[in-house]
Amino acid sequence: MKRLLALTTLAAGLAAPALAQEIPIATIGPMTGQYASFGAQMKAGAEMAVKDINAAGGVTVDGKKMPLKLTVGDDACDPKQAVAVATKVAGEKVKLVAGHFCSGSSIPASKVYAEEGVVQISPASTNPKLTDDRAGPNVFRVCGRDDQQGSVAGQYLATKFKDKKIAIVHDKSAYGKGLADETQKAMNAAGKKEELYEAYTAGEKDYTALVTKLKQAGIDVLYVGGYHTEAGLIVRQMRDQGMKTILVSGDALVTQEYWQITGNAGEGTLMTFSPDPRKNPAASGLVERFRAAKIEPEGYVLYTYAAIQAWKQAVEKANSLDNKKVIEQLNALEFDTVLGKFKFNGKGDPTLPPYTFYEWKGGQYAQL
């Protein structure tokens, strides 16, 4: 029965293009590779947004309702592949790219979109450079920035762990190093000096040597600028060597996969993330529908959804699919999305509430 239903939906989907002209949009992120769980979050959010918009007939332009057609692109968080995919979708004349995930991908790709005049709204890239060195007025993000995140984390570390030994490590990526440096700056400014600052290589499995070094230095609190796989392995290897060190990190840990890697070793891990959008009253119905579809709208699912929502509102206000007019509206309008109401400031950053701290406990993360 289910299959029959799926077939009819498919048939309906296939039949639709004959009726109205479709607007191509894309979401691009790491669909493969070790950050694929974030790619899956983006895909889930984008698919739900497109489904919801199309269920209501589509985007209204000039009195005509036009449905959306979603392309899912894979950059594997590799800057070179990101530029290649960006060029490809720009050639396909997509109107919106809800992506990318990794800052290291979003930044080089944004130059391609700026040249081609394609709207880019990143749901997750937090490196300040994306909007500080904005490639063009077409580049936006709906998430926070690492200097905000780092300043929240740095001040927290400096006050909460004033008498503890703190180490900072990062994975050399645009996101990881950027976040670690911002955190270090804020922490030092608040009068706390780290004992150790070191880089590690992402993609490895063995961090025992680094862990032993931390143990030797008697580190109580470890700040990691990096992604969940490495952070998870590091915290497990710390517990293996009998360390009770608290791991503190950023928004790259907001995936269930983190707990899958750490098991009980992840208990007590702290991380910064924006206030949980799932708790937003405007999102409650949507969250229910995600859960009914057996998708937990964790991490960046709702951010991707909101990126598409904001773009839709801009298109309808501009009453045109012309990129220039849409970009003008994006820079001016106030949007009503699942993340709440916000505007883009002059740089393309959203006016959303700041970062707060979360703690991992028993396989779940909860706001402190």
Partner 1 sequence: MEYFVQQLINGLTLGSIYGLIAIGYTMVYGIIGMINFAHGDVFMVGSFIGLLLFLMIGLTAATPLVVIILALIGVLIVAMALTAVWGWTIERLAYRPLRGSFRLAPLITAIGMSIVLTNLVQIAQGARVKNLPPDIKDRLAGGFTVLRGADGFDAVVSYRQLVIVGVTVTLMAFFTWLITSTSLGRAQRACEQDRTMAALTGVDVDRTISITFVIGAALAAVAGVMFLVYYGAIDFYIGFVAGIKAFTAAVLGGIGSLPGAMLGGLLIGLIEVFWAGYVGSEYKDVAAFSILALVLIFRPEGLLGRPEIEKV
Residues making contact with partner 1 (CB under 8 A): 31-34, 36-37, 172, 198-201, 203-210, 212-213, 215-216, 218, 229, 232-233, 236, 239-242, 257, 259-265, 363
The distance of closest approach from Cβ of residue 172 to partner 1 in the complex, given in angstroms and rounded to an integer, is: 8
Which of 33, 117 has the CB closer to partner 1?
Answer: 33
Rounded to whole angstroms, the Cα distance separating 323 from 128 reads 24
CA separation (Å) from 286 to 8, 11, 166, 266, 314?
A: 24, 25, 40, 29, 21
* Other Cβ atoms closer than 10 A to 169: 26
Which of 203, 354 has the CB closer to partner 1?
Answer: 203
The single residue listed with the structure tokens 């669909």 is: 31
The distance of closest approach from Cβ of residue 78 to partner 1 in the complex, given in angstroms and rounded to an integer, is: 13
The distance of closest approach from Cβ of residue 239 to partner 1 in the complex, given in angstroms and rounded to an integer, is: 7
Which of 21, 260 has the CB closer to partner 1?
Answer: 260
Q: Tell me which long-range contacts 49-58 makes (C-beta under 8 A, separation of at least 24).
A: 49/304, 49/305, 49/308, 49/309, 50/25, 50/308, 52/286, 53/308, 53/312, 54/16, 58/20, 58/23
The distance of closest approach from Cβ of residue 314 to partner 1 in the complex, given in angstroms and rounded to an integer, is: 34
The distance of closest approach from Cβ of residue 162 to partner 1 in the complex, given in angstroms and rounded to an integer, is: 20
* Other Cβ atoms closer than 10 A to 321: 15
Q: In what order do the strands lie in the sheet with 364-367?
A: 196-199, 166-170, 221-225, 246-249, 270-273, 356-361, 364-367
Which of 198, 334 has the CB closer to partner 1?
Answer: 198
The distance of closest approach from Cβ of residue 223 to partner 1 in the complex, given in angstroms and rounded to an integer, is: 16
Q: Is 172 exposed, middle or buried (0-12, 13-18, 19+ CB in 10 A)?
A: middle
Which of 100, 236 has the CB closer to partner 1?
Answer: 236
